[in-house]
Amino acid sequence: MEYFKNIGKIKYEGKQSDNPFAFKFYNPDEVVAGKTMREQLKFAMSYWHTMCAEGSDMFGVGTMSKNYGATNEMDIAKNKAHAAFELMDKLDIDYYCFHDRDIAPEGASLAESNARLDEITAILKGLMKQSGKKLLWGTANCFGNKRYMHGAGTAPNADVFAFAAAQIKKAVEITTELGGDGYVFWGGREGYETLLNTNMALEQDNMARLMRMTVDYARSIGFTGDFYIEPKPKEPTKHQYDFDTATVLAFLRKYDLNKDFKMNIEANHATLAMHTFQHELRVARDNGVFGSIDANQGDMCLGWDTDQFPTNVYDTALCMYEVLKAGGFTKGGLNFDAKTRRGSNTSEDIFLAYIAGMDAFALGLRIADKMITDGRIDKFVAERYASYQSGIGKKIVDGTATMTELEAYALNMGDVTTNISGKQEYLESVLNSIMF
């Protein structure tokens, strides 16, 4: 059965093409910065937005159907799996990501939910074998069901914690069964609405306990992928514990989990935390925890998580600059955690949205490579810090300078006589000249 009948395989046609169903910048086999674009970008499809989300919001019902011609919920799930692989094949996407509840609907009991997961996992495994597609990461949806209204790992009720642990155990098992390269923790409802009812210390200790148990269990059953935490400052809770990369790093270090986890950085979550996407990536890179990316963008005029397909090429260029500087992806990749707008309600729109996002990242990669070979920006930054390469600066960096020595140096100097311009506007124009 073919689900997207009027759409064929999307091919690269180059930027002169006006065929909406063609890539203009993403040429999978072209080598950019030493690897093929396919290897550099490692695109993934998000099962939840692409295969499941029907466009509902808090003011209205869905505008698209994701039933794939079936009526019974397990038949829908089966058809969905086949449709997902057709879509990935047509878009030439090699990876996918899912929550447990995206692939199989929750049953009346945990045992039934698990049996449903086994049934769909077997189908996905077969489809992966046929197509060569891979699982970038799996995760558990520990936020949608009402039992998680006060959180999962950070719930005040130990029974909820136990249920979440059981759900995560199964999600880790199916991720392992499918050869997943990663397992994600996203905070879901792990945060709080008011400190008047919250024991923040216990909640965070418990979250760390759950993460430690998950890592130990996953390794014991042969999971060799990476673990990720995905920072987000707010939504659904007022305050999410995994606020941003810096906050998550402090948490991981406190609980001695920093060897086990890397970051999954989402663009829209960065801007919700009042950071740029590049900032979050830089913090991760500088601290050796850069892992994977949820590619999307927010809306400058809206303060919530709109999960739009990424089309802003400045952002994708600066993102790919960080990725290249980090040495490229290892087990991570670019997962389109993005959905079409509610008004873009046809399956053609989904294809057009992926093409737009993939082309925006392909452009970003091409520009990032040019930024690095052009060298003006890197050279400027290196020269800006040149005073740390000799004399007193070198002593500071080497850790041999003392306060007394620095005082003597400053007294002798009188005052600082040279302070070179930061040239922000010039650098922004350099970036434009590289881009256009």
Applying CB under 6 A, which residues contact ligand XLS?
Answer: 99, 139, 184, 186, 230, 232, 266, 294, 305, 337
Name the DSSP letter for residue 225.
Answer: S
Residue 184 or 320: which CB sits closer to ligand XLS? 184
Please pick, among 49, 94, 100, 102, the residue that the annotation labels catalytic: 102
280 touches Ca ion (CB under 5 A): no
Taken in order 243, 211, 148, 179, the sign of the CA dihedral is: positive
Could you tell which of ligand XLS, Ca ion, none binds residue 244, using a CB distance below 5 to 8 A set by kind? none
Q: How many residues bind Ca ion (CB under 5 A)?
A: 6
Q: Is 402 exposed, middle or buried (0-12, 13-18, 19+ CB in 10 A)?
A: exposed
Residue 117 or 184: which CB sits closer to ligand XLS? 184
Coil, helix or strand for 348? helix
Could you tell which of ligand XLS, Ca ion, none binds residue 189, using a CB distance below 5 to 8 A set by kind? none
Could you tell which of ligand XLS, Ca ion, none binds residue 184, using a CB distance below 5 to 8 A set by kind? ligand XLS
Beta carbon of residue 273, minimum distance to ligand XLS (angstroms, whole number): 12
SS (H, E, C) 82-133: HHHHHHHHHHCCCEEEEEHHHHCCCCCCHHHHHHHHHHHHHHHHHHHHHHCC
Coil, helix or strand for 139? strand
Integer Cα distance of 53 and 350 in angstroms = 11
Integer Cα distance of 409 and 406 in angstroms = 5
Beta carbon of residue 242, minimum distance to Ca ion (angstroms, whole number): 11
75 a catalytic residue: no
CA nearest to 229, candidates 244, 218, 217: 244
Question: What is the H or E stretch that residue 228 is in?
Answer: strand 226-230
Could you tell which of ligand XLS, Ca ion, none binds residue 139, using a CB distance below 5 to 8 A set by kind? ligand XLS
Tokens 């005082």 belong to 407
Among positions 250-279, residues that touch Ca ion (CB under 5 A) are: 266, 268
Beta carbon of residue 174, minimum distance to ligand XLS (angstroms, whole number): 15
Binding mask 334-353 for Ca ion (x = CB under 5 A): ---x----------------
Q: Which residue is at the shortest CB distance from ligand XLS?
A: 186
For the record, the structure tokens of 265 come out as 């950085």
For the record, the structure tokens of 285 come out as 């890179």
Tokens 């692409």 belong to 50
Beta carbon of residue 338, minimum distance to Ca ion (angstroms, whole number): 8
Residue 102 or 305: which CB sits closer to Ca ion? 305
Residue 337 or 369: which CB sits closer to Ca ion? 337
Question: What is the H or E stretch that residue 37 is in?
Answer: helix 37-41
Task: Kindly tell me which residue out of 86, 173, 226, 294 binds Ca ion, with binding defined by CB under 5 A.
Answer: 294
Coil, helix or strand for 258? coil
Beta carbon of residue 36, minimum distance to ligand XLS (angstroms, whole number): 26
Residue 46 or 154: which CB sits closer to Ca ion? 46
Task: Kindly tell me which residue out of 305, 315, 322, 359 binds Ca ion, with binding defined by CB under 5 A.
Answer: 305
99 a catalytic residue: yes
Residue 244 or 369: which CB sits closer to Ca ion? 244
- Are the C-beta atoms of 227 and 215 separated by less than 8 Å? yes
Question: What is the H or E stretch that residue 408 is in?
Answer: helix 403-413
For the record, the structure tokens of 278 come out as 């590049």
Please pick, among 49, 94, 99, 100, the residue that the annotation labels catalytic: 99
Interaction site with Ca ion (CB under 5 A):
266, 268, 294, 305, 307, 337
**Active site members:** 99, 102
